[in-house]
Structure 1
Amino acid sequence: MKKVKVGIIFGGKSAEHEVSLQSAKNIVDAIDKDKYEVTLIGIDKQGRWHLNDQTSYLLNAENPKLIQLNKSNDNVAIVPGSGSSQMIHASNGAVLDQLDVVFPIVHGTLGEDGSLQGMLRLANVPFVGPSVLSSSICMDKDIAKRLLQGAGIHVAKGLVYTTANKQDAAYEQAVEELGTPMFIKPANQGSSVGVSKVSTKEEFDKALDVAFDYDHKVVVEEAIIGREIECAVLGNEEPKASLPGEILPQTAFYSYESKYIDEKGAELAIPAELPEETVKQVQAAAIAAFQTLQCEGLARVDFFLTEDGKIYVNEVNTLPGFTKISMYPKLWEISGVPYSELISELLDLAIARHEKDNQLKSTVWDD
């Protein structure tokens, strides 16, 4: 049987570069080598694309704090259009073998926000994960929450500031509207990057500066007191939801380091200890959020579950982590979908979506 040629694009310029390296490693280790032929494309922190060898694409691969991309001297570029020239060697223009599908496991900005998805769409390459529009929406916490709220889905109350009106951000007003403590977040970052929990004016002002270091738009949210529940969603037109899991942080909140570096930073209850009826409600809410934001392929939906049983969507992550301690693959494993099978299903969903897209007319005139 002819192997499917899979390109795994990883790394990137975002603050989540090292997480992406870990995710890529786990996918490479788990993918069915009898079914797939893997091409590794690592993006360094300067944005250059490197064609990498599977035996040497990472440095310090087993240490999340020191892991690095092993840059090759073989830079590649992607070109628009279809046919056999979707990727070329940047140095001499030589054409690479055509890829059948791409798994873009680049977390954060310029990877998860629709940028990379748009490039792959122009190159007419099937890719894992939501579309350009959905990726962009979900990356922007402000826009995503407005759409979720419009669909009747509970979200935390919040205030939004941009660099244009940053001077209007007042601690006293925020306390009056949101109470304390509150969270301050860059609107377009993931994985707790630039996020602060604040209870004083001094903390508020400092946290705003930190958040604006990462984005031009910042969200200030009320703190929802409740259990941190996550649910994985898989599918295109008919998505399915995993059993929910629960985050039991061992720190003040589920920080970037707790998620991806410190294996003792949080305990994961997989599956979460919830009544059957609540499990069904969480799964239904996850699918509702997935469809409201027009996701396809995969997403992890993060919730707060309050004591009175109300379910709040915190965020929808369109390219969740695939590290050793990441919830998305763990949730599917406990739900009956092993890691290798999960990767195969994601690749199949990408190809199916691409084939459906290619059936659409691109001209108003019949030939």
Structure 2
Amino acid sequence: MKINLYVLYGGKSVEHEVSLRTALTVLRAVDRRKFDVYPIYITQDGLWCGTGVQELPPGSMEELVLVPEENTVPHSIGAALLKLFLVEGKKVALPLLHGSNGEDGTVQGFMELLNIAYVGNGVLSSALTLDKAVTKQLIEQAGIRQTEHVSFRIHEWREKNGLLLEEMMSRIGFPCYVKPASLGSSIGISRCEDLARLLAGIETAFRYDDKLVVEKEVAGREIQVAVMGNERPLASFPGEFIHRSRFFDFESKYEDKELVMSVPAELPPGVSDRIRRNAVDAYQALCCSGLARVDFFLDGEGELYLNEINALPGFTATSMYPVMWERTNGTTYAELIEKLIDYAFTRHADKQGIQYTR
């Protein structure tokens, strides 16, 4: 009997378009001999839309943009629950929602309340990994090296920007990066080489979040590792994007036609193993399960610095995560999706044994 697979994509997030790109690739790869696929599109206003089983893979991204029948979020969610989630049989959700209102534990909590298995990280690890400032605190406690950084909220900036600037000048200096604490895909991030650019970067970052992180630039290479699993996670061979830009921004990631993947990345002896060990350590320190991509900086002296953990890495045609697994152990795109679904069912089954009464 086929498994009912609910693919959630879109979302109330500035990464809405990235989610659509991921969903298009995933929906084209799912084996419909094994799964009845139910696409659920969430608009940028938060409305849920579903039209039932998708018999054939979508031909374009435009086909994924569904028109909601309900005009309020509660009514749209209620309609989706009644029409889609009440279908008989084994169920699993595949959230492909990048950024806020999807990658931050909110949808994961909803799936927990519905008692439906779902792919990827749980409520806690989703919330922790999306918040770069909290991630850095836990990584520091785990003893994993990372770049020098400062984090503050918008009310702190308004009340004591002079003191915060002094701290940034003494601890960070230039060049540096300003990032919204809870966003991905390089949206809202600025590379700053002087005070004027720093002030402008802070203003930009606060458009997307009420908390930000300012990081010292590490001159070197950015190396990525795919991690997969629950209690005993596995790390792929490290990979690297070869690109022309100094700052790997949104346009570089998704629009650069000359972007090249190097997998496995060419690294000095022993460095690959060290990166893979650190990636698993970071994954476990953040209580991750299912999947994550762990990014590092490698400087010219061979020092390794953890950059960030992405608990829902992209699955587009130019995404590193699936390519790293294919070149590590031959896992195809469709096989990778099924492995992640298996991890979801295993974690869900384990949780059913938890007792909620005395």
Partner of 2:202: 208
Task: In structure 2, give the amino acid aligned to 1:3.
Answer: K
Check the 8 A contact 1:57/1:69 in 2, yes or no.
no
Aligned length: 349
After TM superposition, list the pairs within 5 Å mapping 1:340-351 onto structure 2.
Answer: 340-351=334-345
Q: CA deviation at 1:89?
A: 4.0
Which structure 2 residues correspond to residues 90-101 of structure 1 after superposition, within 5 A? 95-97=86-88, 100-101=91-92
User: 1:261 offset after TM fit, Å?
Assistant: 3.3
Q: Which residue among 283, 292, 295 is the counterpart of 2:285? A: 292
| Paired amino acid for 1:272 | A
CA–CA distance in structure 1, aligned partners of residues 89 and 46 of structure 2: 22
**Given the alignment of the two structures, is residue 102 of structure 1 paired with residue 101 of structure 2, yes or no?**
no
2: CA distance, partners of 1:291 / 1:190:
21
1:176 and 2:170 equivalent? yes
In structure 1, what is the Cα distance between the partners aligned to 2:209 and 2:133? 12
Q: Which amino acid aligns with 1:112?
A: E
CA distance in 2: counterparts of 1:57 and 1:345, whole angstroms: 20
- Match in the other structure for 1:255: 249
Whole-angstrom distance in 2 between the partners of 1:56 and 1:181:
49
Aligned partner of 1:82 in structure 2 is: none
Identity %: 38
Question: What's the counterpart of residue 352 of structure 1?
Answer: 346
Q: Distance in 2 between matches of 1:96 and 1:113?
A: 27
Letter in 2 for 1:28: L
TM-score by length of 1: 0.89
CA drift of 1:252 comes to: 2.6
Find 1:87's aligned residue among 81, 92, 96.
81
Range with bigger deviation, 70-79 or 109-118: 70-79
- TM-score, normalisation: structure 2: 0.92
Q: Where does structure 1 lack aligned partners over 5 or more consecutive residues? A: 62-66, 80-84
1:64 alignment partner in structure 2:
none
Aligned to 2:324: 331
* CA distance in structure 1 between the aligned counterparts of 2:135 and 2:291, rounded to whole angstroms: 16
The answer as to whether partners of 2:49 and 2:80 remain within 8 angstroms in 1 is no
Q: Which moved more, 1:288-297 or 1:248-257?
A: 248-257
Q: Which one-letter code corresponds to 1:35 in the other structure?
A: K
Query: What is the DSSP-based 3-state SS (H/G/I as helix, E as strand, rest coil) of the residue aligned with 1:330?
Result: helix
Root mean square deviation of aligned Cα: 2.2
Structure 1 equivalent of residue 66 of structure 2: 71
Shift of 1:146: 0.6
Quick check: 2:24–2:60 contact (8 Å CA) kept in 1? no
The structure-2 alpha-carbon separation of the partners of 1:20 and 1:57, relative to structure 1 and needing over 3 Å to count, comes to farther
Specify whether residues 289 and 116 from structure 1 end up closer, same or farther in structure 2 by C-alpha distance, changes over 3 A only.
same
Assess if the C-alpha contact under 8 Å between 1:44 and 1:69 holds in 2.
no
Cα deviations by residue, 1:87-140 (Å, 9 ceiling, x for unpaired): 2149xxx95456610100100011101011011111111001111000000010
Report the equivalent of 1:137.
128
Q: Distance between the aligned counterparts of 2:140 and 2:198, measured in 1?
A: 26
